[in-house]
């Protein structure tokens, strides 16, 4: 009866449903009971997820559902879609590790040259310039990021940046343009 009223709510009024031998009190009791059952199943699933994540915090949703359905097979466990909804609703998804760019390969067979400026202390501007390249992650959305690189050349004495260069792979947009776009 509850499903008939839920599916055809516009066509059948509660008064018509009650003509089939169900009182209004019984109807609302059934609706409330199903709501309480659903909430208790969700709470039980959340408690199960928390207990498993105490042991291993990196177990994902699919593996959790297999463990859940295997352990509570005969006790009407949640289905996969409902389990995923509960995991999403209560914020229990495992965060994906972001990929960091690998910029240095120290295990190469190329010759290593001595550091000629290790003990050099500049006494005037333009005696020593230092440079660095760094990668900057630019988040496109919550799950996708692109890496841009930023190259800087700086005078070691005055600590003034002499030059910089940026390069991004997406839409021919430089990092400085992207930063101006975000800040606008």
pLDDT tens-digit readout, 37-95: 888 888 888 998 899 889 888 888 888 888 888 888 877 678 888 888 988 888 888 87
pLDDT at site 171: 52
- CA of 155: how far to CAs of 148, 152, 166, in Å? 23, 10, 19
- CA of 52: how far to CAs of 65, 120, 153, 177, in Å? 11, 57, 51, 46
Residue in 112, 181, 176 with CA at minimum distance from that of residue 150: 176
pLDDT at site 135: 79
* Confidence category of residue 174, pLDDT binned at 50, 70, 90: low
Q: What is the pLDDT of residues 82-137, one digit of tens each?
A: 888 988 888 888 877 666 767 677 788 888 888 888 888 999 999 999 988 887 77
Window from 40-49, 141-150, 160-169 with minimum mean pLDDT: 141-150
Own/partner contacts of 3-7, CB < 8 Å, gap of 24 or more, are none
pLDDT at site 175: 53
Q: Is the pLDDT of residue 141 over 50?
A: yes
pLDDT at site 16: 55
pLDDT at site 106: 77
Q: Is the pLDDT of residue 152 over 80?
A: yes
Mean pLDDT of 151-168: 86
pLDDT at site 10: 45
* Confidence category of residue 176, pLDDT binned at 50, 70, 90: low
């Amino acid at each position: 009866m509850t499903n008939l009223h839920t599916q055809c709510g516009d066509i059948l009024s509660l008064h018509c449903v009650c003509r089939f031998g169900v009182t209004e009190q019984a109807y609302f009791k059934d609706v409330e009971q199903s709501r309480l059952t659903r909430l208790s199943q969700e709470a039980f699933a959340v408690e199960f997820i928390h207990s498993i994540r105490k042991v291993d915090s990196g177990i994902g949703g699919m593996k959790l559902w297999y463990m859940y359905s295997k352990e509570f097979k005969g006790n009407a466990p949640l289905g996969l879609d409902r389990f995923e909804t509960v995991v999403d609703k209560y914020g229990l998804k495992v965060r994906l590790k972001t990929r960091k760019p690998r910029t240095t390969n120290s295990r190469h067979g190329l010759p290593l040259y001595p550091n000629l400026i290790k003990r050099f202390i500049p006494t005037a501007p333009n005696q020593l310039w230092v440079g660095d390249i760094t990668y900057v992650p630019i988040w496109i959305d919550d799950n996708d990021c692109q890496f841009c690189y930023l190259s800087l050349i700086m005078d070691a004495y005055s600590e003034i940046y002499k030059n910089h260069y940026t390069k991004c792979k997406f839409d021919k947009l430089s990092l400085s343009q992207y930063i101006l776009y975000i800040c606008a």
